[in-house]
Structure 1
Amino acid sequence: MLCASATPVFAFAQDAAPADETAVAVDDTDYGNDIIVTASKRSQTLQDTPVAVSVTSAAQLEESQIRDLIDLQTAVPSLRVSQLQSSANTNFIIRGFGNGANNAGIEPSVGVFIDGVYRSRSAAQIGDLPNVERIEVLRGPQSTLFGKNASAGVISIVTQKPQYDFGGSAEVTYGNFNAITVKGNVTGPISETVAFSIGGNYNRRDGYAQDLKLDTDVNDRNRWGVRGQLLFEPTDALSIRLIGDYDKIDENCCIAGNVIAGPTVAITNALAGGPSVDANNPFSYDVYNNFLSSNEIENYGGSAQIDYDLGNLALTSITAYRKVKALTNQDSDFTGADLIGENSQDLGIDTFTQELRVTSDFDGPINFLLGGYYFNEKIDQENDIRFGTQFRPYGDQLIRAASGNALNVALLEGTFGALEGAPTRYLGTFFRAGDGLDEAYRLKDEAFSIFGTVDFEVTDRLTLSLGGNYTKDRKNFSTNVISSDVFSGVNLDAPQYAPFRNQLLLGGALQQAGVNPNDPAAVGAFATNPATAPIFQQFLAFAAANQNNPAANPLGGLRAFQFLPPFLNLPNSVEDGKTSDSDFSYSVRAAYEVTDTVNVYATYATGFKASSVNLSRDSRPLASDLAAITAAGLRTPNLATGSRFAAPEESTVYEFGLKGQWDVAAVNVAVFKQSIKGFQSNVFTGTGFALANAGKQSTFGIEFDGSVRPVEGLNLTLAATYLDAKYDSFVNSAFGDISGTTPAGIPALSMSMGATYTHEFAGGTKAIAHVDYAYESPVQIVEGLSGFPAGVAESLQREVNSLNASFTIRLTNGLDVGVWGRNLTNAQYLTTIFPAVAQAGSVSGYPSQPRTYGGTVRFKF
């Protein structure tokens, strides 16, 4: 289907290219009937591709100033992209399905491919877009042809390959917030059979937010990259394309604003000696932190694609190696108080992939594609989270508030130590600055798949297709997590604390009777008064009977402040740290050419995503393993249950599509019912993430893409997506049983409309005016908020109204001069919200980017 926020892609009709050969670059003023896409791993016209696919051209990217995949969502209504706590955490959602950020062990449901090479994690996906020819967004399960994690869809980026005609381009952009972007590329021949291309980009911008405590701007942009290619074509039958790239990000990202100021704000304000947050005002872009959040990301790799034409058969091999290194650190309490002194991550990802396939091109009624895919990935991850210098007094205030001033940190330290026979053991240790967790995780993922499709032309107009993919995925993972958080290692149910619990139980009972337990005279009078003495004896009996009862433990409320308890590492004698999954996905499709300009298709397809591993401090054993862990003597203090990994996702889709293209118009419609069993949900709860499988999530949807050229030079576009989503079953969510509810973050209606007008003056100079508008209907942002009453999460909604525009003068000598603006309406919305870290009653959220604008000079030769 055609994309419709920016100008849809049109190119003059052309002969089908060999498999995976990219289409010729499309000029924004060329209007024809066909464009070649490779969504089905064959070169076909968009009209003849029976898949719901949106295509965005290089011209559209320029007109709308789309610089990365985050910006792309304004052009594709079914796509949603959100950047979370760092530049290395970006989430892609198609048709309401998607995950994969916040945890390197959780693989995405939306696969991202660049020139046929899978980018397995968001840290490898969010750099500035390379010298792009087009971006194809495939909607719905694509597991039949893609070997790894495409249960919700695929984003396929196709770059321009080297040319034998010397040429290139250079571009300089300057915008508000002192933004400077420089891009350039050169291509040409080395010999008659060898061509090259080399390109680079530099993108820098001051931060659009202000840190009032550190007195500096934040949320800046600082990234650059280079990319080189060699194309060898020694014969007409053989083509070898070598690609190497390197990009670097070194940015301060990402701010979170205060959405709801809870009771702890008074404490953090006092500790900060002034405002610690801009209370209830996330769109002021004013924040308070103790140190700058850092993001240093390196992403590099290379690939070799070999195509060999055997006449009726074409062989393709794509071999690739990728490396990602990400160093991040964040002041993750998002306040001016020094609560979290460090929350850092050192992440390394090594990925090797190999794809082989053979594609037929027979004159007869049957053609096929057969391939194999191998994936090998190693993840090394080290995290550190440590208390800041003010977490101890902060924790003290929390404990005082929770106990009605009956308890405090110093009292607990002295009492616990004395009862253990070591009075000084705990003095000064609870919530001590620098204590926390040292974390190390390892994951090895090895997978292979065998896939293929068969097309049978029943008649000249009717084609039936069958596809299948068998995938085997094995993961081995291990942890080495050490906690130095002393308070979190205290067993509040320990028998030696019985006298203290007895005292607290008795004091609580006396308080309920209106007697101050800290007033000996009042207690003595109550105990000896003939009228109340029997009641006092009942209180004594109650305290004695329950001093070792965990359910009545008066210290139980302190468990909420045991943030970083000792960790049960694995593998161990109960948990082997392994997953092994296999699946056969398939598709059945019928495509019918009603007329030369109208095609229809019907599809049933399944998809698969393997188990995802919880590589985080929130990794906890399954409840079903707890008895065996206890029997083996492995149980650590305060061990809670949760999940080590989430089971696979299995998706299905029923889809009917219509594609019509004429000389001056195009209409594309898809109607579908899509569902995922075992959707892998990863929800932040305020102190950690809860990884769980939803029973089933389903969506009924209608997608429309249309374009029309009513007069010469004017192209109007409209795209709209309607989604009716629900959790058919999700009993064990982080917020209880939410079966039957609408999943958060999925707007019922998303739409984008655009207009591009090109006027050619005498002499060939052109003026190109472009405008596009994106809308998302109001939607609840998150399923729920831990610790908040019902209705709070429902009241926090997101609505998007974003306007982009550009105006360009294109001279005949290849020079473009233009101005542009993104989010000209200065739309303000929260991309996501979450309970503030260790701050009960407060909510934080990531605000949208404000209005940006600037000018661009571009020269093509």
Structure 2
Amino acid sequence: MRVSGTAKFLNVCAWCSLLLPLPSAQASTAFTASEESLNTITITARRLEESAQDVPISVASISGETLSQAGITTAQELQQVVAGLQVAVPNPRLAQFTLRGLGSSSFNEGLESSVGLFVDGVYLGRQSMSITDLIDIERIEVARGPQGTLFGKNSTAGTIHVITQKPQFTPEARMEASWGSEGMAQLRGTVTGPISSTTALRLTAWHNERDGLVENRFNGERYNDRHREGVRGQLLWAPTTKLSSRVIAEYSRLDERCCTFPLFGEPSKTVKARDEYVGYQRVSGNPFDRIADLNVRPSSQAEQYALSNETQWDFDLRHRLVSISAFRDFQFQPITEDNTSLDLVVSGTSSAQTQLSQELRIDSRWQHAETVLGLYVLNQNTRGSEYVRLGEDMSQWIFGGLIRENIPFANKENTGLLLNTLIPPETLAGMETRTPFQQKATSVAGFGSLNWHATDQLDVSLGLRYTVEWKDTEVRRRRSGGNPNASPLALTNNLALLAPLLGSQVSSLTFNQLLDDTVGGEFERKLAIEEDAVSGNAGLAWRWSPSLMTYLTYSRGVKSGGVNLGVTGERVKPMFRPEVADALELGLKSQLWSDRLLLNVALYDTYVTDYQALTFDESPTFIPNPRLNNLLNVGRVRLSGVDVDMQLALPQNFDVRAGIAYNRAITEDFKNAPDEDSQQNTRDLSGEPLANAPRWSGNVGVQKRWALEGGYTAYSIVDYHYRSTFNATLERSRNSVVEGYGVAGARLGLASQSGWDASFFVRNLFNQDYVDAILTIYGVGSYGAYAGEPRIIGGTLRLTW
């Protein structure tokens, strides 16, 4: 029997209560002077090092130690410790980040992320570049809401900034190994130290693997595994206290038997008719059975190279010149098919992104103000190719399905011979299309910000950014292979005789048109665009005391428009407009009870105009069409809600960290949404919740430490994260609903002063079933689901010296 998420939350809380010290008769709500207070959290959300409590925006800062304790090693797992963040990764190319309900699919390379992603100050031009392990991290800063001034480009929803550990002049080494059930194995190592009086080195390497979680009934193999590894090297040169230069080089790779997505829920009417005609029985529609049926081994391979340099020069007491130069190259090569053992289709969309960027800015600290002035240039080259190859069962499956829809008792046994005579299997078998695409883009921006301390209590913040972008694009499609002349219909190029079998939809076509609508015809498009945008912010912050601040901030973020990098039908516009987010945020930041309680609350209301959405081209086709190739602008979206972040240091070494987010994300004007029944974009979803935007999300983590004799420390950690029910697709299909879920984890460990730490952990403590990602298989209404990890039990050994 499945236990509800609420019941499991109560169970976790009951466990947590066992760790709390029992109150005595002399217990008081006051803390004694000897008890520890919370450490000051330093962030760079405004490009300056400052306390998180002084920044008038909603920022969640997660330390590397917190990530390690929670067992978080991937970007997808980051949502477990950040309320309001949603991350889905069907595969590296299709990674999607959503903050406060605002995010964009990366199914089409022409569409960029609404969440700005950064690593050590370097903007990542594609969401896929973030799919590497989070190893040797100093902290991660998640800034909610538009960040249109300093982080600027494509940050209408917010930013995620990963800051890695820097080289140290004090020698140190750290090794960590974790093993667990489901074949889990993680190895990490870091070493740092000086190589001269002015130069320090840091080397980091990692390996992360896990067995496949889905069993393929076709051949007994297991798919959806994990196999990732990489290395990072850093060199820090600091000849004086005023000058430093940090070079970072990184290589990472991913090679997995991934990803298979069994059909989620009931097949559509069309898919059901096709399966019944050829007599195919699908595996369970329940993703938690973790069963697939594939005759082609899925593959997911990715490589990434990165090189960056950050130089800082304090050329006087007030001014610092910062230069960040970076190169990144990401390549992804997948092999997928339609999740059946029928010989229908093998496909994959390879993609590659190369980018060069340069940021140059001056950070200044005046007597009553801080300013940032800068220039930014980004050059991107995005390229890829979609490959589709049809198999020998495709003809019977597609056209047999049409026959069964017209003649309910028809099947392969009673009409298959006739169908094979009219359209033999070799007509389509081996036919393939290749669709290469490319975009070259250049973005240039100038930006500036001012934080003015008008009085001892009042701060005024202003920011402005002007961006100009140029994009040149090309998309082509070519068809080859197969044997169209094998069909006698090719002689007449007339399908009128097929009306009794296939219906009037087919009989009105010529044979050549039938092939175009089934496989795809020749296509070519070249477009270039130029656009500019203004973004920025203005805010007031009032300090009631050194530990209590309220603020009101207006911010505007702009995500660039662009060109659809997919093949589109006559009903789809090739270009789309910029997405603009205007947000008001009212917040409170406080540190109470002698700095033992940190409590931050932010109320927000955001209007998004021309929200960039990726839906289905409604042009009729016969081939299973999972392509999200209709890039359009939803008229208006509204996001409103509240974020709460809390940290609490209790007596007797007991710490609590929690976050909760309530978000009402609504498409206020969306009259051209896809309809899964009519297969046309005529549904009115105005006033409906936005996709991938759970109304409630939250997390809590608690830690208790015990000081033991001999210098040992025992500790226990319990964490829990929750998502309420949401719909995972823009069209809000009845087959893409993700039920609310909560997942708990626990860790028990022992550490010594000599530098070793051994712990036992359980992930997904209650073995909760939950959907991790949803991917379209046969177009609108037909989706596959990727189940989240089951319970994993294991141990970790850390050595530091």
Aligned mates of 1:833, 1:561 — CA distance in 2:
29
Match of 2:695 in 1: 748
Q: Scaled by the length of structure 1, what TM-score is found? A: 0.81
1:459 to 444, 455, 462: 455
Displacement, 1:640? 3.0
1:772 to 710, 719, 727: 719
Q: Which residue identity is paired with 1:601? A: Y
Match of 2:610 in 1: 678
Question: What does 1:22-171 correspond to in 2, within 5 Å?
Answer: 31-84=37-90, 86-171=91-176
Question: What does 1:168-179 correspond to in 2, within 5 Å?
Answer: 168-179=173-184
Residues 123 and 778 of structure 1: CA distance in aligned 2, closer, same or farther (over 3 Å)? closer
Match of 2:647 in 1: 707
Aligned mates of 1:75, 1:93 — CA distance in 2:
14
Displacement, 1:561? 9.4
**Preserved CA contact (<8 Å) 1:673 1:701:** yes
Aligned length in residues: 741
Aligned mates of 2:658, 2:84 — CA distance in 1:
13
**Preserved CA contact (<8 Å) 2:273 2:401:** no
**Preserved CA contact (<8 Å) 2:735 2:781:** no
> 1:498-531, CA deviations, whole angstroms, 9 ceiling, x for partnerless residues?
7x64x677x79xx9xxxxxxxxxxxxxxxxxxxx
SS at 1:354 equivalent: strand
Match of 1:362 in 2: 366
* Residue 689 of structure 2 is aligned to residue 757 of structure 1: no
SS at 1:738 equivalent: coil
SS at 2:231 equivalent: strand
Aligned mates of 1:327, 1:781 — CA distance in 2:
25
SS at 1:570 equivalent: strand
Match of 1:801 in 2: 742
Match of 2:208 in 1: 203
SS at 1:695 equivalent: strand
**Preserved CA contact (<8 Å) 1:319 1:353:** yes
Residues 729 and 495 of structure 1: CA distance in aligned 2, closer, same or farther (over 3 Å)? farther
* Residue 247 of structure 2 is aligned to residue 242 of structure 1: yes
Aligned mates of 2:729, 2:123 — CA distance in 1:
29
2:627 to 688, 701, 717: 688
Match of 2:572 in 1: 642
Displacement, 1:270? 8.1
Residues 826 and 488 of structure 1: CA distance in aligned 2, closer, same or farther (over 3 Å)? farther
2:583 to 649, 653, 669: 653
SS at 2:169 equivalent: coil
Residues 397 and 561 of structure 1: CA distance in aligned 2, closer, same or farther (over 3 Å)? farther
Q: Which residue identity is paired with 1:361? A: R
Aligned mates of 2:506, 2:280 — CA distance in 1:
40
* Residue 432 of structure 2 is aligned to residue 393 of structure 1: no
Residues 360 and 835 of structure 1: CA distance in aligned 2, closer, same or farther (over 3 Å)? closer
Question: What does 1:172-321 correspond to in 2, within 5 Å?
Answer: 172-262=177-267, 264=271, 268=275, 275=281, 277-310=282-315, 311-321=317-327
Aligned mates of 2:386, 2:691 — CA distance in 1:
29
Bigger strand share: 2
% same residue: 28
Displacement, 1:673? 0.2
**Preserved CA contact (<8 Å) 2:361 2:375:** yes
**Preserved CA contact (<8 Å) 1:563 1:687:** no
Q: Scaled by the length of structure 2, what TM-score is found? A: 0.87
2:754 to 813, 816, 823: 813
Match of 2:678 in 1: none
Displacement, 1:453? 0.4
Aligned mates of 1:494, 1:591 — CA distance in 2:
74
Aligned mates of 2:777, 2:310 — CA distance in 1:
47
Aligned mates of 1:413, 1:646 — CA distance in 2:
43
Q: Whose radius of gyration is greater, 1 or 2? A: 1
> 1:116-166, CA deviations, whole angstroms, 9 ceiling, x for partnerless residues?
011122321111113100000110111211142111111100011100000
**Preserved CA contact (<8 Å) 1:88 1:297:** no
Aligned mates of 1:582, 1:30 — CA distance in 2:
51
Match of 2:731 in 1: 784
Residues 142 and 409 of structure 1: CA distance in aligned 2, closer, same or farther (over 3 Å)? farther
Mean alpha-carbon deviation: is it higher for 403-412 or for 195-204? 403-412
Match of 1:566 in 2: 521
**Preserved CA contact (<8 Å) 1:261 1:841:** no
* Residue 553 of structure 2 is aligned to residue 608 of structure 1: no
> 1:591-622, CA deviations, whole angstroms, 9 ceiling, x for partnerless residues?
11111110111100000111243223xx32xx
Displacement, 1:551? 12
Match of 1:353 in 2: 357
Displacement, 1:347? 2.1
* Residue 331 of structure 2 is aligned to residue 325 of structure 1: yes
SS at 2:725 equivalent: strand
SS at 1:401 equivalent: helix
1:594 to 531, 536, 544: 544
> 1:645-682, CA deviations, whole angstroms, 9 ceiling, x for partnerless residues?
32211111100110101321111000000122111111
Residues 793 and 290 of structure 1: CA distance in aligned 2, closer, same or farther (over 3 Å)? closer
Displacement, 1:496? 7.6
Question: What does 1:341-490 correspond to in 2, within 5 Å?
Answer: 342-363=346-367, 365-404=368-407, 430=427, 432-484=428-480
> 1:270-299, CA deviations, whole angstroms, 9 ceiling, x for partnerless residues?
86x875x32322111111111111111110
Aligned mates of 1:207, 1:414 — CA distance in 2:
42
SS at 1:386 equivalent: strand
Mean alpha-carbon deviation: is it higher for 47-56 or for 391-400? 391-400
Aligned mates of 2:738, 2:616 — CA distance in 1:
17
* Residue 664 of structure 2 is aligned to residue 668 of structure 1: no
Residues 150 and 209 of structure 1: CA distance in aligned 2, closer, same or farther (over 3 Å)? same
Q: Which residue identity is paired with 2:543? A: E
> 1:694-716, CA deviations, whole angstroms, 9 ceiling, x for partnerless residues?
11111111111122223120012
Match of 1:574 in 2: none
Displacement, 1:831? 3.5
Match of 1:636 in 2: none
Aligned mates of 2:781, 2:463 — CA distance in 1:
51
**Preserved CA contact (<8 Å) 2:484 2:490:** no
Aligned mates of 1:726, 1:560 — CA distance in 2:
40
Displacement, 1:832? 4.2
Residues 642 and 684 of structure 1: CA distance in aligned 2, closer, same or farther (over 3 Å)? closer
Gaps in structure 2 of 5+ consecutive residues: 1-11, 14-34, 618-624, 676-682
Aligned mates of 2:781, 2:729 — CA distance in 1:
16
**Preserved CA contact (<8 Å) 1:399 1:409:** no
Displacement, 1:222? 0.9
**Preserved CA contact (<8 Å) 2:396 2:420:** no
Question: What does 1:566-585 correspond to in 2, within 5 Å?
Answer: 566-571=521-526, 577-585=527-535
Aligned mates of 2:180, 2:274 — CA distance in 1:
40
**Preserved CA contact (<8 Å) 1:783 1:793:** no
Gaps in structure 1 of 5+ consecutive residues: 7-28, 416-425, 512-546, 572-576, 621-638, 787-791
Residues 435 and 504 of structure 1: CA distance in aligned 2, closer, same or farther (over 3 Å)? closer
- Give the root-mean-square deviation of aligned CA atoms: 3.1
Aligned mates of 1:232, 1:841 — CA distance in 2:
56
Q: Which residue identity is paired with 1:817? A: A
> 1:365-403, CA deviations, whole angstroms, 9 ceiling, x for partnerless residues?
233110111000112212211112321221231232234
**Preserved CA contact (<8 Å) 2:498 2:506:** no
Question: What does 1:483-498 correspond to in 2, within 5 Å?
Answer: 483-484=479-480
Displacement, 1:798? 2.0
